[in-house]
Amino acid sequence: MTLAILAILGGFILLVWSADRFVDGAAATAKYAGMPSLLIGMVIVGFGTSAPEMVVSAMAAIDGNPDLALGNALGSNIVNTGLILGITAIITPILVQSKIVRKEIPLLLLISLALGYFLWDGALTRVESILLLVGFFTLIGWSIYSAMKGKGDILEGEMDQELAEHAMPIKKAVFWLVLGLVLLIVSSRVLVWGAVSIAEALGVSDLIIGLTIVALGTSLPELAASIIAVRKGEHDIAIGNVVGSNMFNLLAVTGIAGVISPMTNLSSDVLSRDWLVMMGLTLALLFMAYGFRGAGRINRFEGAGLLVAFCAYNVWLVSSVI
């Protein structure tokens, strides 16, 4: 038990550090390759911030723990929307001006509904998982198109500023890209082992561990990135990271895990509790941030509401296993 706890703590620390190095290296390498700043922000950074969830869920599925993988995906979205945006908005109200980010929020809602439809029968088959991955690659294509057509979007200016602050020589960028990816895999393997061991020792399901401990740990890069972004006035990067990560989680993280190990006999709580809470938070995000009559805005009061909803959900989870 002690070794498992140390594995989780060490895995989290290494995961967060390696994810940060991976994103910086990938973004700098893409810039040297001539990729536009807006495209780097939408695809490279979005993919990088979801890399911990992708690798952890893939490792869990390979080890025969698909429930842990699904819990990680759904739980990470709940953490991203409830905890991360909640805390970020309380620190500094988030102003959403980017037209691209505002288009992504309704798209996130549609993807969430599609996943709910797939989970309706209590399973996620390999065919359904492949369809999620097809949706993921379609999303990448749409992101590339939006980035090429979105010249002048406010998100582009914020991304230019970020890339300038994290500029590095090409050799250093490639070094951090490769090392960050290797350490992501190693730390994810350690984290999954520790999480499964804790679940077995406490007698709780892999799903619950995925929804709580693992989801919180793999979402730490987004928390740090969002807080830093709003403190620098880069509001659209803050919310764009969360929305992009949420879409990647539902399509790529769940899809990869389901292709490796199809999910059968899922608990009814997945749909009636976890997916429902995720949908509720996504709907709240739509009404707060979309900006039906102009720029969207998540104020401190709304941020507190998101945070209260996240805390209430976790109390619900704890009460379900006591």
pLDDT value at residue 62: 87
Whole-number Cα distances in Å, 282 to 257, 277, 287:
23, 9, 9
Return phi, psi of residue 298, to 5°: -105, 110
Lowest mean pLDDT across 112-116, 145-149, 183-187: 145-149
- Are 178 and 19 within 8 A, CB to CB? no
Of 217, 219, 225, 163, whose CA–CA distance to 26 is shortest?
A: 163
Give the integer Cα–Cα distance in Å for 32 and 299: 38
120: Cβ contacts below 8 Å, ≥ 6 apart:
271
pLDDT reading at 30 higher than 80: no
Helix (H, G, I), strand (E, B) or coil at 293: coil
Q: Is a pLDDT exceeding 70 seen at residue 153?
A: no
Sequence-distant (6+) residues with CB within 8 A of 74 are 210, 211, 215, 270, 274, 275, 278
Lowest mean pLDDT among 102-106, 113-117, 128-132, 216-220: 216-220
Residue bearing the bigger pLDDT, 34 or 242: 242
Lowest mean pLDDT segment, chosen from 33-37, 180-184, 189-193: 33-37
| Residue 67 or residue 160, greater confidence | 67
Which amino acid is present at 19? A
Topology of the domain comprising 2-321: A middle domain of Talin 1 (1.20.1420)
Domain spans of the chain, in order of start: 2-321
- The confidence score (pLDDT) of residue 116 equals 95
pLDDT at 3: 85
Is the separation of the CB atoms in 263 and 132 below 8 Å?
no
| Residues 208 and 321 sit within 8 Å (Cβ to Cβ) | yes
For residues 228 and 80, give the distance between their C-alpha atoms in angstroms, rounded to a whole number.
15
As a whole number of angstroms, the distance between CA 74 and CA 257 comes to 13
Please, what is the Cα angle at 230 between 18 and 135, to 5 degrees? 60
**Among 34-38, 75-79, 130-134, 277-281, the least confident range:** 34-38
The residue written with tokens 């037209």 in the block is 99
Cβ–Cβ < 8 Å for 130, 259: yes
For residue 301, give the amino acid letter: F
Tokens 């979105």 sit on residue: 150
Could you give the 3-state DSSP secondary structure of residue 207? helix
Contact by Cβ (8 Å): 281, 84: no
Using a pLDDT cut of 90, give the percent of the chain over it.
30
Model confidence pLDDT, tens digit, residues 53-87 = 888 888 888 888 888 889 989 999 999 999 999 99
Residue 63 is which amino acid?
D
